[in-house]
Structure 1
Amino acid sequence: MQPSKQLIGVIDFPGRDRDALAETIAGDGLAVFAVDNVEELPAETALVVAHVRAVPSRDWATLALRLPTLVVSDDRLDTDLLKAVDAGLVDYIVEPLRHGHLLRRMIHKAIELRELALERARDREHLAELNDNLETHLAMLRLDQQAGGQIQRKLLPPRPQTVGQITCDYWLAPSLYLSGDFLDFQRFNERYTLFYFADVSGHGASSAFVTVLLKYLSNRWQNEWDGSRPETLAPHWLGELNRELIDTGIGKHATLFVGVIDQQRRYLHYSLGAQLPMPMMVANGTVHSLPGEGMPVGLFPGVTYPELGCELPKNFRLWLCSDGILECLPGETLDKRLKELETRVLDSETLEDLRSNLLLEDLSDDDESVAESGSGREKLPDDLTIMMLSGFGDANS
């Protein structure tokens, strides 16, 4: 027997009819093994051709489960033939010796279908194994992302906190476990307080790594600053960060607002890199966006960032929002959404007020739960971050 031949088992009572049936099947190059009952079939049997008279009716179902089986009969009206077909056997043929060519074609087709079924079963098994591996890797990635999110949250400043006469509070809701939004608020000395608000392009780990780099660089530059010429600190930071991001070659850029608050003068020195929306100053019942413009950080080499500044009035509130907040507002155009944001900012005394006005009060306000669960934030269009600075409640202090 050639290795490439499929072994066909023939079940029938011994005799000339069985021999003739076996010869008919073998005429198309098929290997045939004739037996009296199913138990005598070799393990490598690919298909069975069983005569209806040779298999008890109670055994058809068992045979159908074991091997693909074609039933042959000499009489179309044989009642056992219908019982065999009802048991789930592949097909049947009447007077097989007269229709040998048809029988062989049916055998080849049945074998082909069985091989396809076995291949599908193997594919399903392989796919199930791949899915199990994928679930394992996803679980590991989820744990890594959750751990990374917790570490990233630990890098954020305490909230709320008061430095001198300035209070800072913020809320950050990542759309994934890790966030591309980041901020900081630190005392430099009794006179100066430094802060920044950043939105790194993209999501996930690569964007979060940039926020860690930003934290490291800002701490280094703060330690290198001698406290002189505060108007130059913010543009210097942005220029240095622009160079660092371009030199890393990671293809990430960011929008930033960097501020230096002079509590003695009650003055804000600042610079910006394409911040959107611009910080909004609320005082004396009015709201306006701080003026200025600058290029994104990390896109173009040799960019110079502006030196900007403004007085800080009594009882001011300075609001900074990431661009994801704009997705939560009605309006078909950017201008309409910015106007809507100004209206809701003006109507908000506290961070909780603005979250309520933006219909974001149901999202978690707990740092740990945000980091651990990503807050189930598939519904969020982007990372959402709000930062509020306020102060100088007593103009004579």
Structure 2
Amino acid sequence: MDVPKPLIGVLDEPGAYRDALADTIARDGLAVFAAERLEELPAETALVVAHAQAVPSLAWSSLTERLPTVVVSDSRLDADLLTAIDVGLVDYVVEPMRHGPLLRRMIRKAIELHRLEKERERDRERLAQLNAHLEELNESLETHLALLRLDQQAGGHIQRKLLPPHPQTVGGVTCDYWLIPSLYLSGDFLDFQRFDERFTLFYFADVSGHGASSAFVTVLLKYLSNRWLIEWNAERPEHLPSRWLAALNRELLDTGIGKHATLFVGVIDHEERCLHYSLGAQLPKPLLVADGEVTALPGEGMPVGLFPNVEYPRLTYRLPANFRLWLCSDGILECLPGDTLDMRLRELEQRVLTCTSLERLRDSLALGIPPDIDAEGEGSGGQDLPDDLTIMMLSGFGNDHE
């Protein structure tokens, strides 16, 4: 399809000079329309070639505001040419009929520059509109983020209220812990509560991921464990941990939320001084420190919430008179030196062996957690941590404070 020719308006008094000027401009295929006044030019006029004497002195400014303009004159000393130059017109040709190629080149160049300027103006307008739209979106995003932050903080506060008091001592066994979410909500959770004078139950969970969806699973875990504890009749305690894990496995699969967890569930028999437990892919493994040695509690189990019809092991361990049982979420591995998993696990074993309190182990990690974060993560969370971090320590029976 042929590109339409730009229309060039020629402003001059009718006569042979104007006809010759129009003919000179039209030689390169430019469309020309000659007129005596600006108002007579068609609306599609792209550029005006004006004789210096054809435009009143006061009209140059309004002319150049409407259309790109090239001035022609017969003499450089023409007073009307000088007036046009004074108002800012720099494109002019003296004796245009003698310099036709130059005039036509100037016309095409002026049209192109005008087109580019119009495009720049449109781009500036679009950019201004885009910036205004982005500012609106940013304000909306900031508002939503602030609301989300408030919701997360409220959720974190509620989640911390579901944790057991600490430290607490039951039947000669003391439980203490330290839980710090990577932000506000945590996928780590634990509980420790007396069932009766003989049995105390506890669990330690690390739900996959972190944030709101993982935190919701910990609330479900709290609800289910309380319900199952009420339903238990204190018989066959060695079966209880594995039954809990199997039941929780079914519950998580039935929800269809795509979350799984690693868990350790234990029942302490204070009369027999033994631990009945079951575990589901707990990493790091629970570490028992007694008589100057550290031992990983034996046993293997599948993660909870990944596979149907899983059977979890029923395990029992005789507890020494003086022991410390350490349970840590896998977030602690990110805080230990070592190039491999085995190196970090060995480092953890050495640290729990030498640390006689929860505070010592926590301080040895050099996490750089702000001092306004308390032992339950009260505050803004550990933003520098790549994952939630929880440490739980049970100690007894030589530490009976009751």
Distance 1:358 1:220, change over 3 A: same
Distance 1:219 1:28 in 2: 92
Distance 1:394 1:127, change over 3 A: closer
Shift in Å, 1:362: 3.7
Shift in Å, 1:160: 1.1
What secondary structure is seen at the aligned counterpart in 2 of 1:190?
Answer: coil
For residues 18-69 of structure 1, what are the alpha-carbon distances to aligned partners after superposition, in whole Å with 9 as ceiling and x for unaligned?
9x99x99x9599xxx958xxxxxxxxxxx99899x9999xx99xx99xx898
Q: Which amino acid aligns with 1:186?
A: Q
Shift in Å, 1:364: 4.5
Paired residue for 2:235, among 228, 231, 237?
228
1:193 equivalent to 2:200? Answer yes
Paired residue for 1:111, among 118, 121, 132?
118
Shift in Å, 1:101: 3.2
Distance 1:72 1:341, change over 3 A: farther
Paired residue for 1:381, among 356, 370, 386?
386
Which residue of 2 is the match for residue 128 of structure 1?
135
Distance 1:216 1:68, change over 3 A: farther
Checking the alignment, whether the CA contact within 8 Å between 1:355 and 1:361 is kept in structure 2 is: no
Shift in Å, 1:369: 8.7
Shift in Å, 1:263: 0.9
1:167 equivalent to 2:184? Answer no
Distance 1:72 1:240, change over 3 A: same
- Matched ranges for 1:12-161 at <5 A: 27=31, 34=38, 72=70, 93-95=91-93, 98-99=104-105, 100-161=107-168
Which residue of 1 is the match for residue 247 of structure 2?
240
Paired residue for 1:253, among 255, 260, 266?
260
- Matched ranges for 1:213-362 at <5 A: 213-360=220-367, 362=369
Task: Give TM-score scaled by structure 2 length.
Answer: 0.78
Distance 1:28 1:246 in 2: 80
Q: Which amino acid aligns with 1:125?
A: A
For residues 232-266 of structure 1, what are the alpha-carbon distances to aligned partners after superposition, in whole Å with 9 as ceiling and x for unaligned?
11000000000000000000000000000111111
Distance 2:297 2:117 in 1: 78
Which residue of 2 is the match for residue 38 of structure 1?
none
Distance 1:168 1:107, change over 3 A: same
Shift in Å, 1:142: 0.7
Q: Which amino acid aligns with 2:393?
A: M
Shift in Å, 1:78: 7.5
Checking the alignment, whether the CA contact within 8 Å between 1:147 and 1:372 is kept in structure 2 is: no
Q: Which runs of 5+ in 1 are unaligned?
A: 1-7, 36-46, 86-91
Checking the alignment, whether the CA contact within 8 Å between 1:68 and 1:114 is kept in structure 2 is: no
Distance 1:109 1:240, change over 3 A: same
Checking the alignment, whether the CA contact within 8 Å between 2:373 and 2:381 is kept in structure 1 is: no
Paired residue for 1:392, among 368, 379, 397?
397
What secondary structure is seen at the aligned counterpart in 1 of 2:307?
Answer: coil
Distance 1:83 1:230 in 2: 101
What secondary structure is seen at the aligned counterpart in 2 of 1:231?
Answer: coil
Distance 1:394 1:252, change over 3 A: closer
Distance 1:128 1:214, change over 3 A: same
Checking the alignment, whether the CA contact within 8 Å between 1:150 and 1:368 is kept in structure 2 is: no
Distance 1:275 1:231, change over 3 A: same
Number of aligned positions between the proteins:
368
Distance 1:113 1:306, change over 3 A: same
Distance 2:56 2:246 in 1: 89
Checking the alignment, whether the CA contact within 8 Å between 2:294 and 2:353 is kept in structure 1 is: yes
Distance 1:320 1:365 in 2: 24
Distance 2:110 2:325 in 1: 87
Shift in Å, 1:106: 2.7
Distance 1:74 1:363, change over 3 A: same
Distance 1:180 1:102, change over 3 A: same
Q: Once superposed, what is the RMSD of the aligned Cα atoms?
A: 4.3
Distance 1:141 1:345, change over 3 A: same
Shift in Å, 1:121: 1.4
Distance 2:377 2:86 in 1: 65
Q: Which amino acid aligns with 2:147?
A: M
For residues 191-245 of structure 1, what are the alpha-carbon distances to aligned partners after superposition, in whole Å with 9 as ceiling and x for unaligned?
1111000000011111110000000000000000000110011000000000000
For residues 67-112 of structure 1, what are the alpha-carbon distances to aligned partners after superposition, in whole Å with 9 as ceiling and x for unaligned?
8985755599979969959xxxxxx644496443333333222222
Distance 1:71 1:101, change over 3 A: closer
Checking the alignment, whether the CA contact within 8 Å between 1:180 and 1:200 is kept in structure 2 is: yes
Checking the alignment, whether the CA contact within 8 Å between 1:28 and 1:104 is kept in structure 2 is: no
Checking the alignment, whether the CA contact within 8 Å between 1:317 and 1:391 is kept in structure 2 is: yes
